[in-house]
Chain A
Amino acid sequence: MHTVHILPIGGTVSLSLLEYVAGALEENLNFPCRLMENALDIRDAFHPARQQYHSTHILSKMAEMKMEGNVKILGIADVDLFIPVLTFVFGEAQIGNRAALLSLRRLRQSFYGLPDDEPLLFTRCEKEALHELGHTFGLLHCENYECVMHFSNSIEHIDMKSNIFCDTCAPALSPFAKHAP
């Protein structure tokens, strides 16, 4: 059985959001979750020219954190993330390893000039959390556009996909859950 440690990073990640994600992960994946302190210093991951944070750099710092047992660590960052080849990323994760990271910035309606919508933000965040954690269990991107493991290069794609692992992807996770479904 795995435990997911949820790490808020930078800015203001609200407790209600963290608790919502924790609840969603426990419900969907049957993994117990634990909330961590917002204590990771990410200042050196900032790229002045791009005005964004290097996602892989933050992921390295997370992977270095000492943890015992079967633990996955999910970072929820309130900063805009990038990798050199892409204009931005919603998230990044190690494949079949421990660390996963997602950014809230582009999940907020206000980023697109619209009034903020908390329930929508929470749903999007849940999908991205499941998606990035899916990678840590060895899942790659899925061609099924409704599957949560489908690749999204814009917010519309995130809204289009569901929060469910398709029949092909789901078996990768079940052996690790509390009770195999």
Chain B
Amino acid sequence: MVAVLVILTIAVFVLADAILQWKEEDVLKRVPAPKEVKPAPPDVSFAFEGMRIPAGVFHDRGHTWVEIQPSGAAHVGMDVFSQRLLGRLRSVELPETGCEIHRGEPLFTVHKDGRQATFLSPLDGNIESVNGGVAENPDKLSEDPYGENWFCRVQPASLSRALKMMTVAESASSWLKSEIKRFQAFLSVRPAEHVTLGALLQDGGQPVEGLLEFVDRQTWYAFEKKFLHTSERARTAA
């Protein structure tokens, strides 16, 4: 009798355990899978994301660059700062081969959707040749605005004097960083003019790549003046 009771008790415990375990499994099964957390929406790319400049290239305050070739000639192009802000260009207008240029005078003009931006020459000298590849396919600039994608090849005069006014290597990168800050400040204080809403101001965000496509005419002109240092006179002369 005792033996039967003991066996029965054990059997009851085993059974109860089995039921509990089965229930637990059931509960586990019924817990819904965790909801998939929706990732934050992808930001369009920040205009200056991963911006790099080649080490031996001189940068001028009007956002052109100069690279001295072993022959002594200089390649001149548009820097990554203006490339990122301008985005895709419709065309590039280059100077004529053989003409004489002076530092601070219009050198080349880029066109984008009915608007244009003129860049000033960082050097004195003569135009030895221009890069037809860039003129034919300005999209190449989005891949790399330096190196092969120069605009003009210049035979410079008084080179050392001009180079002293430019930045290179770490001084060029810190100057570009300060230009980015200056640009952000420039954008944050310029109210956008809206047809029906009037003047608007926004708080937040970073400039997007190719943003000059979206700005009003006044902001475009102000950008040319403040960042490319193109004067009214230079613009009409270009």
Residues of A within 8 A of B (CB): 50-52, 55-56, 59-60, 63, 80, 82-97, 99, 106, 111, 128, 131-132, 135, 140-141, 151-154
Given pairs A85-B187, A89-B202, A90-B205, 12 additional interface contacts (CB within 8 A): A56-B200, A82-B205, A84-B211, A86-B208, A87-B43, A89-B204, A93-B201, A94-B197, A95-B199, A128-B203, A140-B201, A151-B185
Q: Chain A interface: which of B15-23, B122-130, B188-196? A: B188-196
Q: Which 6 A-B pairs have the closest CB atoms?
A: A86-B205, A90-B204, A51-B41, A84-B214, A151-B188, A85-B211
Query: Is A95 touching B201 in the complex (CB atoms < 8 A)?
Result: yes
Query: Is B203 touching A91 in the complex (CB atoms < 8 A)?
Result: yes
Interface residues of B in 34-48 (CB under 8 A from A): 40-46
- When A52-B41, A99-B197 are in contact, do A89 and B205 touch as well, CB less than 8 Å? yes
Contact of B192 among A83, A88, A140, A154 (CB under 8 A): A83
> What are 10 sample pairs from A and B whose C-beta atoms fall under 8 A apart?
A52-B41, A56-B200, A59-B200, A88-B43, A94-B199, A97-B197, A97-B198, A106-B204, A141-B188, A141-B203
Q: Which residue of A lies closest to B189 (CB)?
A: A141
Residues on A with beta carbons closer than 8 Å to the beta carbon of B214: 84-85
Query: Is A91 touching B41 in the complex (CB atoms < 8 A)?
Result: no
CB of B206 within 8 Å of the partner chain:
yes
CB of B137 within 8 Å of the partner chain:
no
Per-position binary interface string of chain B over residues 161-202, scored 1 when its CB falls under 8 Å from any chain A CB and 0 otherwise: 000000000000000000000001101110110101111111
CB of B104 within 8 Å of the partner chain:
no
CB of B215 within 8 Å of the partner chain:
yes
Residues on B with beta carbons closer than 8 Å to the beta carbon of A63: 196-197
Residues on B with beta carbons closer than 8 Å to the beta carbon of A94: 197-200
Query: Is A56 touching B44 in the complex (CB atoms < 8 A)?
Result: no
Bound CA span A119–B40, Å = 22
Query: Is A88 touching B205 in the complex (CB atoms < 8 A)?
Result: yes
Bound CA span A55–B205, Å = 12
Q: Which residue of A lies closest to B41 (CB)?
A: A51
Bound CA span A155–B84, Å = 24
Q: Which residue of B lies closest to A82 (CB)?
A: B205
Contact of B40 among A59, A86, A111 (CB under 8 A): A111
Contact of A141 among B40, B196, B197, B201 (CB under 8 A): B201
Contact of A91 among B191, B204, B206, B208 (CB under 8 A): B204
Interface residues of B in 7-28 (CB under 8 A from A): none
Contact of A86 among B45, B185, B200, B207 (CB under 8 A): B207
